[in-house]
Amino acid sequence: MTSQHPRWLLNGGIGSGKSEVRRLLEEHGIRTIDADSVGHVVLEHEALPAVAERWPDVVVDGIVDRSRLAEIVFAQPAELSQLEAITHPLIFGRIEAELEGFEGIAVVEAPVIDFGANWTRMVVDAPDEIRLQRAVARGMGRDDVQRRMDAQPGRGEWLAAADIVVPNRGSLGDLGTTVARLSSYMTSEE
């Protein structure tokens, strides 16, 4: 994904606040793409045959039971790697196609460090306990959240990969102020 136009990767672990940062950036007029949403479409279409072959029990009536698939892959790192090997190239291809010809700033929210692109990486950071509390407050089970956190890079890995860190330890108002400054910086770099 090469471009002369600014491309940003928005990262962070579960419960860090990536989606809220993406929403706030959109409010500031910045184009964003949610790689998870693209991934859902990929699971329903291009990846379906390979997923059905690898994990036949997670496909019911031609539809991937994402909850069941998540139970498997977040409990076993090798299974997660297999799923990523199937889906990531397809997800990246869809994102490339969506951004083809787009001449402005674009931000892709992705919960993975290795996105395969040489973009400026901003990482939303919050302590693990806050992340856990946020995800549980959204309705996820504590054990499920912990399994997903364990399957993702640790906080130190996220921070080491960051070009820019977006702190998210406080209120939504605090985050809004931070994102307003960030969007001003991003648009000044264009």
Task: Kindly report, residue by residue over 142-176, the tens digit of the pLDDT.
Answer: 999 999 999 889 999 999 999 999 999 999 999 99
Q: pTM, whole model, 2 decimals?
A: 0.85
pLDDT at 88 over 50: yes
pLDDT at 117 over 70: no
Indicate which CATH number applies to the domain containing 88. Answer: 3.40.50.300
CA distance 27 to 98: 20
**How many domains does the chain contain in total?**
1
Pair 33, 43: CB distance under 8 Å: no
CA distance 166 to 164: 7
pLDDT at 136 over 70: yes
Q: Which amino acid is at 145?
A: V
pLDDT tens digits for range 32-86: 999 999 999 999 999 999 999 999 999 999 999 999 999 999 889 899 999 999 9
Q: Is residue 169 part of a domain?
A: yes
Q: Is residue 161 part of a domain?
A: yes
Cβ neighbours of 137 (radius 10 Å): 9
3-state helix, strand, coil in the chain (%, to 5): 55, 15, 30
Q: The domain containing residue 77 runs over which residues? A: 7-185
CA distance 45 to 47: 6
